[in-house]
Amino acid sequence: MKAEKKTRAALSTPAGDALEGADLLSEEWRFYHFERNIALAAKGLVCLVLFYFMFWSGWLEPPPSLPGMQAIEFHRQLANRVLQYAFLVYLAVNIGAAFVLINLREMPRGVVRATLWGVCALDAAFAGGLVVLTGGLNNLLFWLFPLLILRNSFTLNVGPGMIAAQLWTCAAYAAAALINRHIAYLDETAAALVRGQPSPTLPPLNNVFHLQTTLLLLVAAWSYGLRVVLERQRRQRQEQAEMLLRREQLAASGRLAAEIAHKLKNPLAIINNASYTLQRTVKEGKRTITQQIQIIREEVARSDQLITQLMGYAQLGEGKVERVNVREEIESAIQQVFPPAVKFEIVILRDYGPGVPPLLVQRQHLTDALVNVLTNAREAMGGKGAIRVRTRFAADHTVQIDIEDTGPGIPKEALPRVFDEYFTTREKGTGLGLSIVKHNVEMYGGEVKIESEVGTGTRVTLKFPVVSMMRLQR
């Protein structure tokens, strides 16, 4: 328990606190705090006000119709009813979106993203309907659209979805203005017919429409560019905090390992010397005592070897955590295991996926893991066969490296023990290669998986999280 408390204390660092702190641009904050706690409450209040005006205040009731204008007034009433029903649909959709946001932590993140995009698009369409209802260009509802654009740029993730939402919002206002112009033209035409006057021509778009539409496009472009810059800065800050965290945790694990090793090596040395002296003084005839002492010495030697390895972990803090290009490190490991001067009858098949981000690790840790896996594959195939190396950026934000060979495979009964130290299925194997791979990958919160079938081959999968809290092997 003391060791566990000490470990937690060692790993509690300022960098870790910075990494876990609130980030106003993070998806968690935008979805949970802004959309759920702020925007949802504000929209609920707006919906209540609109419900009152549309169904109780008589706002949509048309004025008394003029002689000969009954048909136009009928179509206006019909349009008002359509708007009321559209509002009820809008209200129902927002209630469904509210359910998703209230249960945000239990919902798949893809469902939340799709829901928010749909709500943003629906808000723009409904705002366009209000513009048509309240008089088109000459009203203050225009300023609702820049606010919707700014809300889109803040809520949605940077990418095609945000661009589509911004363009849709601009198009909603433009369509509302054009519809309102056409309605005004129909009113003037009907009035002219009642008075016996010739029908007027459709008026051209005025400068107000062009200025307002241009302004919306400029706001959309500016807000998107600003969000891209802020998102890049946020990623840089997160990466720096993660790098600092990993350095501090490596140093903490090294200090802890050095302390444990220092406290245990001295008593083991004393026990080893005492048992050696006792073995020399005991008569050879008493074989039972001699054998027991020999067992003591062997176990002490094994413990001393393990502590020596633990002391090696104390050097972890000396390494430098840096941005490592996965593809370059794989190529470097291939050059080490298959040097060009040596002609191996092995074909290396490369399948590097697009968009694989760099890893924040100590370069030597990744290199050792790759070299050990490739060496195992080479020796298992006896210098003949094919090795396929594949990389991809998985949906769970992990970098996955698959190394597959065409060797004889591993027996099913041996698979559960392949990561055990000193366990090997080869005559000249040390049994440490895969244990080193497992240690180096899990140190960064990653995972190692082996799939093998006798007579077919073996596939080793290394998964590294792009951003993670490092785990200390205890």
The CB-side HSE value for 459 (13 A sphere, CA atoms) comes to 12
Query: Angle CA(327)–CA(329)–CA(330) in degrees, nearest 5?
Result: 65
Same domain? For 443 and 310 the reply is no
From 318, 334, 353, the end of a domain falls on: 318
User: Tell me: the pLDDT tens digits for 254-305?
Assistant: 666 666 666 666 666 666 766 776 666 665 555 556 666 676 777 676 666 6
DSSP characters over 387-434: EEEEEEE-TTSEEEEEEEE-S----TTTGGGTTSTT--SSTT--S-HH
Nearest residue to 227 (alpha-carbon basis) of 163, 271, 282, 311? 163
Q: Six-digit token pair at 454?
A: 């006798």
Instruction: Inform me whether the pLDDT recorded for 457 exceeds 80.
Output: yes
Selected residue with higher pLDDT from 444 and 318: 444
From 265, 284, 318, the end of a domain falls on: 318
Same domain? For 365 and 431 the reply is yes
- Is residue 474, in this structure, part of any structural domain at all? no
Domain of 451 in residue numbering reads as: 321-465
In angstroms, the CA 216 to CA 92 distance is 28
Please report the sign of the dihedral spanned by the C-alpha atoms of residue 19, residue 25, residue 27, residue 32: positive
Same domain? For 290 and 435 the reply is no
Residue 257 pLDDT = 64
- Is residue 154, in this structure, part of any structural domain at all? yes
154, 227 contact by CB (below 8 A)? yes
From 243, 268, 297, the end of a domain falls on: 243
- Is residue 134, in this structure, part of any structural domain at all? yes
Domains contained in the chain, number = 3
Same domain? For 262 and 331 the reply is no
User: Tell me: the pLDDT tens digits for 3-37?
Assistant: 444 444 443 444 444 444 446 667 777 777 777 77
How many of the other CB atoms lie within 10 Å of CB of 67?
6
> How does the average pLDDT of the chain come out, rounded?
75
Same domain? For 195 and 285 the reply is no
Same domain? For 256 and 227 the reply is no
User: Tell me: the pLDDT tens digits for 404-426?
Assistant: 998 888 887 777 777 766 555 55
Please report the sign of the dihedral spanned by the C-alpha atoms of residue 156, residue 160, residue 161, residue 162: positive
Same domain? For 422 and 400 the reply is yes
Same domain? For 398 and 286 the reply is no
pTM of the predicted protein model: 0.52
List beta partners, residue 401: 391, 462
How would you classify the pairing of strands 384-393 and 398-405? antiparallel
In angstroms, the CA 193 to CA 186 distance is 11
Same domain? For 457 and 432 the reply is yes
- Is residue 198, in this structure, part of any structural domain at all? yes
